[in-house]
Amino acid sequence: MITQVCVGELQTNCWIIPLLKAEQPLPSGKAVSQEPENCIVVDPGGNEDLILARLKKLQLCPRYIVLSHAHFDHIAALPQMAAAFPQADIAIHQAEAVKLGPESEELHRRDLNAAGGYPFADSPAWRPLPKASLLLKEGDELGPFQVLHLPGHSPGSIGLYWEAEKILVSGDTLFYAGVGRTDLPGGDEHLLFQSLQRLFAMDGDINVYPGHGPATTIRREAATYR
């Protein structure tokens, strides 16, 4: 159901998640999809050629391009993805909307310098980032997913939670055997602790699809962290 594509130098997980198609029955008894945009792409952090090839193989087209947060390793392929799928909404939490758009380059340079430097904005492959077309907040819905605001790793970090399927896309808040770092600009250890406690109080059977590394479960990480 969910496809993982590891991208970029930091091996970010770009997740491709099919959406349920709106279908209309025909007299023949068959059904035809009325929704050409039939998936969510989360965190296109680089290697857009790999992401595009996987979408083509799966015969999927993004309805939403969602950013769990705006760190460079989760957005590097956003310009190319937006150009390839201009109909897709670019979605990010409203607290990090300033990290997108052509004026955002200086903010990323500043953050990267604070983190020790990284040649993202100076790369020959750099393109100005498109603006978000959809600003998210706690409780918003994207298809079957509910948006969870999980600040700590960054001010606008989010998770995407599909209750019926027990799926949580956690970004960099929660990993297999690890949690998000808070020493980058905008990080807050206290807020991260609160976000983690919120997640650990959820159903232990929830499958967690993080921003880096293998999938895990709430039960496993709650037991490990505590």
| 5's tokens | 């594509």
Q: Are 155 and 171 in contact (CB under 8 A)?
A: no
User: Is the sign of the CA dihedral 110, 44, 182, 134 positive or negative?
Assistant: positive
* DSSP at 130: P
Looking at residue 117, its pLDDT comes to: 60
pLDDT greater than 80 at residue 146: yes
Higher pLDDT, 133 or 72: 133
What strands lie across the sheet with 3-7, from one edge to the other? 3-7, 12-18, 39-42, 62-66, 89-93, 134-136
pLDDT greater than 90 at residue 155: yes
Looking at residue 106, its pLDDT comes to: 81
Which range (69-73, 103-107, 152-156) has the least confidence? 103-107
Amino acid at 162: W
Mean pLDDT computed over every residue of the chain: 89
Which range (23-27, 62-66, 151-155, 181-185) has the least confidence? 23-27
Place 8 in a pLDDT band, splitting at 50, 70 and 90: very high
pLDDT greater than 70 at residue 28: no
pTM: 0.89
Please provide residue 80's backbone torsions phi and psi, each rounded to the nearest 5 degrees.
-70, -40
pLDDT greater than 80 at residue 202: yes
Q: Which of 138, 209, 142, 216 is nearest to 177 (CA)?
A: 216
Higher pLDDT, 118 or 150: 150
Looking at residue 126, its pLDDT comes to: 60
* SS3 at position 77: coil
Give dist(CA 34, CA 38) in Å, integer: 10
The pLDDT of 53-62, averaged and rounded, is 96
Place 127 in a pLDDT band, splitting at 50, 70 and 90: confident
Place 186 in a pLDDT band, splitting at 50, 70 and 90: very high
- In sequence order, what are the residues at sequence separation of 6 or more whose Cβ sits closer than 8 angstroms to the Cβ of residue 223? none
Give dist(CA 81, CA 46) in Å, integer: 10
Looking at residue 11, its pLDDT comes to: 95
Give dist(CA 146, CA 24) in Å, integer: 25
Looking at residue 128, its pLDDT comes to: 84
Strands 12-18 and 39-42: antiparallel
